[in-house]
Structure 1
Amino acid sequence: MATIAADPTQFSLDFLVCSIRDLDWSRTCQPDVLLLDIDLNDGSEPDENVSTLVGMGLKVLLFTSERRPAQLRKLVGLGAAGLALKSDSEEQIVEAIRQVAVGEFTTSSHLAEALLTDPGLMASLSPRELEVLEQLASGVPKKAIGNALDVPVSANTVETYFQRIAARYAALGRPVANIYGSLREATRDGHLDL
């Protein structure tokens, strides 16, 4: 980022790694802010990365082009100190870094804030509803989902879960025609990663 490089009195780029496994704290100081691309393409999971880094006492600012609210909200729930979108201006991203450095939770733009807070962007699904969708996504036939759950339930109860899921999406103006439509919308929200 040109702004950071151009003003070494305010910022210094101490290191750049392609995986958090490559971090060698014996060779570098602990940063004031760690700007974390949540999609490192190194086989690691974003939630594990955030948990590890936050557990080390680091202030983690998520840096991403991800637009699925459920995934982003989960990472913030794990302790990330803010969200900066790759599509935001350099000035907005720099300001987000500044805010995190002084201990503030921040977002780089109105869109980033909406992704984290707007209840109309995604359906709020219960853990049990998510479990039913995960079973469907893994290929379990609808009739067998009830028996495949951690705590088995009847086929009628599974049908009730699917009806509730469909109602939640209909309330958002995103009606689903069948269980696979529910699966598609849950994936779109980031509840599932297919």
Structure 2
Amino acid sequence: MKEIGLIEDDNILRNAYTKYFRITQTFKVVFSVPDVADALSLNTVQPDIILLDVNLRSGSGIDGIQVLAAQFPTSKIVILSSMENAKLTRLAMENGATGYLLKSSSLAYITESLLKLDEGGIPFSPATISHVIHNNATADNRSEITELTKREVELVKLLSEGVANKIAADRLNVTYFTINQHLKNIYKKLEINSKSELIAWYLNK
């Protein structure tokens, strides 16, 4: 069972999410709070996933990503927002978010997206995936301006669309082991250490 933390300032919505995740028997809600500061006051939990709203009473949740990551280093921080904005998606990934989901997505879709994290998936709602694709229309030419090979660029493009590692292996007709090797090589070439950093790099090219 995955442990999850919720940061959402709308009490009704927060309670609804909390109730839903508890009855799924897939997630255990270890905290459900209205602001980043409330989460930071909790020193005894390290949830697997933190769902973070953007519009909070204290300001932008995106500004709190790095602070949360410092206190919860093993947690994957996923934005859950009503704001569909390409700039916010890019900024969230740059700050270290693992994904960007929209509240307009069904609860079943949100749950499925979060479960794919174990397979190397990046949680995106369809609209936020389109933001990534739109902002990277020249992706096919990236191998010419970086040290990445054409196949490595193809892999980065798939991962940026939220495709899990295993699915990427099928689409590229290679083994799961090969995908992991590609990722190691990509991280080394770009001098990064995580998939969220890779997506941030992709969003900025």
Identify the TM-score tier after normalising by the shorter chain. 0.5 to 0.7
Q: AA paired with 1:65?
A: S
CA spacing shift, 1:52–1:116, aligned 2, 3 Å:
farther
Question: How far apart are the structure 1 equivalents of 2:124 and 2:63?
Answer: 23
Unaligned stretches of 5+ in structure 2?
1-16, 138-205
Deviation at residue 99 of structure 1 after TM alignment? 2.4
* Residue of structure 2 equivalent to 1:188: none
Q: How does 1:84-163 map to 2 (within 5 A)?
A: 84-100=101-117, 102=118, 104-119=120-135
Matching residue within 64, 71, 90 for 1:49: 64
CA spacing shift, 1:36–1:110, aligned 2, 3 Å:
same
Question: What CA deviation, in whole Å up to 9, does each residue of 1:9-34 have, x standing for no partner?
Answer: x21111111111112233x4110000
Question: How far apart are the structure 2 equivalents of 1:91 and 1:99?
Answer: 13
Contact 1:107 1:113 in 2 (8 A): no
TM-score (norm 2): 0.51
Q: How does 1:144-183 map to 2 (within 5 A)?
A: none
Question: What CA deviation, in whole Å up to 9, does each residue of 1:132-168 have, x standing for no partner?
Answer: xxxxxxxxxxxxxxxxxxxxxxxxxxxxxxxxxxxxx
Contact 2:86 2:132 in 1 (8 A): yes
Question: How far apart are the structure 1 equivalents of 2:69 and 2:22?
Answer: 26
Moved beyond 3 Å, runs of 4+? none
* Residue of structure 1 equivalent to 2:92: 75
Bigger strand share = 2
* Residue of structure 1 equivalent to 2:195: none
Question: How far apart are the structure 1 equivalents of 2:119 and 2:94?
Answer: 16
SS at match of 1:15: strand
Within the alignment, does 1:5 sit opposite 2:31 as a pair?
no
Bigger helix share = 2
SS at match of 2:21: helix
Question: What CA deviation, in whole Å up to 9, does each residue of 1:67-98 have, x standing for no partner?
Answer: 12112211111110011110011111011222
TM-score (norm 1): 0.53
* Pairs aligned (count): 117
CA spacing shift, 1:50–1:103, aligned 2, 3 Å:
farther
